[in-house]
Structure 1
Amino acid sequence: MPVSRSLPEPGHGRFRPLLLRLAPGLLTAAAAVGAAFLVHGLLPALPAMTLAVVLGVLAANLPGAAGWTEGRARPGLDFAGKHLMRAGIVLLGLKVSVMDVLGLGWLSLLLIVAVVAASFGGTYAISRLFRLPPVTSLLVATGFSICGASAIGAMAAVRRIRHAETVLPVALVTLCGTLAIGVLPLVAHPLGLTAAVFGAWTGASVHDVGQVVATAQTAGTAALAIAVVVKLTRVLLLAPVAAMAGAHHRRAARSVGAAEGSTAKMPPVVPLFVVGFVAMVALRSTGWLPGGWLEAGATLQDILLGAALFGLGSAVRIRSLLHTGGQALLAALASWFLIAALGLGAAFLIAG
């Protein structure tokens, strides 16, 4: 009688080595995210996402830890920086309600769109003026004008930009967003800003959602309320900007393919994770999801983005940044000043 043997599960032999290769980096990212949330709980003024990037940079540059992040942990950290970033962007849509955005009024919406468009174009022009490469300039402009590292990750995916090229833009947008947390509250009183105007200014000019919250809450709940709505309106623009970038990239790829006689597969006009983001916005806007589900989604989104940002931060080598990032830093500071000025003008019109 033949001896029966259990057959291996389909794909088991392929996925197990992959998981073993990714596990060190993913576990490292999970520990770092836990540490970032712990510090944020003790010091609420420090956003957890900013802390995740800082911890990544420290891990990449401290003796001992640097060897780990560059060695066994690297595959998992790169996976987090790319794939967990996309999953976090999808869940970011659960924070955006179309009803809240429309509640600002059409004039405010047009002003916010104008600020984003002017910030994008101005930042790209400044970056090119400082002789940054076109790819870096595009990513910096996207991150500064829309929603920080999340927007950089989205644009990189749409344009099929290499993961390594997102490291410098993420470092710059994190640095300038952190700078805003300290600078904007200091100048609010000399400028004579009301809480509403300060909140609108913060939402219109600060890069990351967590940085907006950390900055606006210094002026109270009224400032925080309008800041979050204005900021999430900018976040909502991620979808059309990504779609336009995808369409442009597809046309360029088709032209190159036609010229070279290539039959390579064309990139999608709108990547699946951007579709997921729009779907989550639509789901949130229906009002069907109870508060508990929204809170759970927000927590998971923070965990995913925190792990992604730690992964990106762990690729930043300070020595290389000092040698190659001087021009980029000057461009980022000039862009930060431009966006702050544009946002302040819009804030007076929105809430003045």
Structure 2
Amino acid sequence: MVNPEGKRSGSREQILVIAPGLAVALAAVAVSLLLHSLVPMLPAMTIAVVLGIAAVNLPGTSTLCQGPCRAGLNFAGKHFMRAGIVFLGLKLSLGDIMDLGWLSVGLVVAVVLLSFAGTLVLGKLFKLEGDTPLLIATGFSICGASAIGAMAAVKGTKHEDTVLPVALVTLCGTLAIGILPLLMNPLGLSPLEFGQWVGAGVHDVGQVVATAQTAGAVALSAAVVVKLTRVVLLAPIVGVAGAIERKRQARALELQRAGNVETATSTRFPPVIPMFVVGFLLMAALRTTGWLPESGIEAGALAQDIALGAALFGLGSSVRVRDLLNTGARATVMALCSWLLIGTLAFGAVHLMNI
């Protein structure tokens, strides 16, 4: 028989193991939100990643990140990311998206699909290994680190293999904040067109807001609606990837049965759509009904910031700059090419939207 007291004791031990890392991650979120409130141009999620990278690379805090805080930081990077994706659904109102019109929605979908496929091709051209091209394609084309976390779940990607894609999506999104506003006037874009371009071409929601707000309220509103149209595609793309992964594992299972029954029976299939993505869809449906009061929406936004901020700090704290420079050069060049591709596709879509 299982001793209930032993279970409780084990749970307490697990909590004690992850508590230091979680406390550090939540403290980093508080600092990130404070800095964002003081300098709105800096997205809180980007600050959280940078703080994590700094923490693991500075001599004084590196030992803590690699030692007593590691378990909690890994826990935050995985489980808080999933919680943040659920709360992300509260940002979606399908009514706002449909107000764009079928042509605009179709063009945004085309940008996502073409950039996703194009980034996968770039990954093969640059000979990136494992799930890295798929994760980069998902993060760049849909919604940054949140999409990377969702795709990693259905693919069964190891936590450490998500670190590089998250670092790259943060890098390119940060570049967008500084570079795209400088291109608005040379490209002859109106505030509306600039907002549409930013929404269609920048990766993370926070990065979209930080970039678009430089051109005023019209640009910001347009950017957010277009961006959230891309976010809606998270569920179907992850669902397709989950179905393909199950089919691949089923084929492998048949081969295992032919030679090793014991190995075959131990195979676990990933869900077609993870439960946290189902939660994301339910939250979006709840927001669309209009039943949720504004205070509930604001509380959900804060919960999302806390969860995603802690997750991104945890992931950032796994990025060793020396290792990144040694192993991530090709991936960085590939990501920059993907960023250029997405920006070009988005610019073309905006032109077609406003003919």
Normalising by the smaller structure, the TM-score range is: over 0.9
Matches within 5 A, 1:260-339: 260-261=256-257, 262-263=264-265, 264-339=267-342
Output the CA distance in 2 between the equivalents of 1:287 and 1:223. Answer: 24
State the shift of 1:10 in Å: 8.0
Matches within 5 A, 1:147-158: 147-158=143-154
Aligned to 1:240: 236
Aligned to 1:214: 210
State the shift of 1:134 in Å: 3.8
Question: TM-score, structure 1 length as denominator?
Answer: 0.97
Where does the alignment leave 5 or more consecutive residues of structure 2 unmatched?
258-263
Aligned to 1:122: 118
Output the CA distance in 1 between the equivalents of 2:350 and 2:312. Answer: 29
RMSD, aligned CA:
1.2
Kindly provide the CA deviation profile for residues 132-189 of structure 1, in whole angstroms up to 9, marking residues without a partner as x: 1141000000000000000000000011100000000000000000000011000110
State the AA in 1 paired with 2:57.
N
Aligned to 2:261: none
State the AA in 1 paired with 2:289.
T
Aligned pair 1:101/2:97, yes or no? yes
Output the CA distance in 2 between the equivalents of 1:223 and 1:187. Answer: 14
Output the CA distance in 2 between the equivalents of 1:144 and 1:71. Answer: 32
State the shift of 1:270 in Å: 1.1
The 3-state SS of whatever aligns with 1:64 is helix
Aligned pair 1:26/2:29, yes or no? no
Output the CA distance in 1 between the equivalents of 2:108 and 2:281. Answer: 19
8 Å CA contact 1:200, 1:351 repeated in 2: no
Output the CA distance in 1 between the equivalents of 2:311 and 2:127. Answer: 28
The 3-state SS of whatever aligns with 1:348 is helix
Where does the alignment leave 5 or more consecutive residues of structure 1 unmatched?
1-6
Kindly provide the CA deviation profile for residues 281-313 of structure 1, in whole angstroms up to 9, marking residues without a partner as x: 111110000000000000000100000000000
Aligned pair 1:144/2:140, yes or no? yes
State the shift of 1:241 in Å: 0.5
State the shift of 1:347 in Å: 1.3
Output the CA distance in 1 between the equivalents of 2:120 and 2:270. Answer: 24
8 Å CA contact 1:196, 1:351 repeated in 2: no
Q: Aligned to 2:350, which of 336, 347, 351?
A: 347
Kindly provide the CA deviation profile for residues 186-225 of structure 1, in whole angstroms up to 9, marking residues without a partner as x: 0110111001100000000000000000000000000000
- State, as a whole percentage, how many aligned pairs show the same letter: 60
State the shift of 1:351 in Å: 4.0
Equivalent residues, number: 346
Question: TM-score, structure 2 length as denominator?
Answer: 0.96
Q: Aligned to 2:156, which of 157, 160, 173?
A: 160
State the shift of 1:265 in Å: 3.0
Output the CA distance in 2 between the equivalents of 1:11 and 1:73. Answer: 23
The 3-state SS of whatever aligns with 1:11 is helix
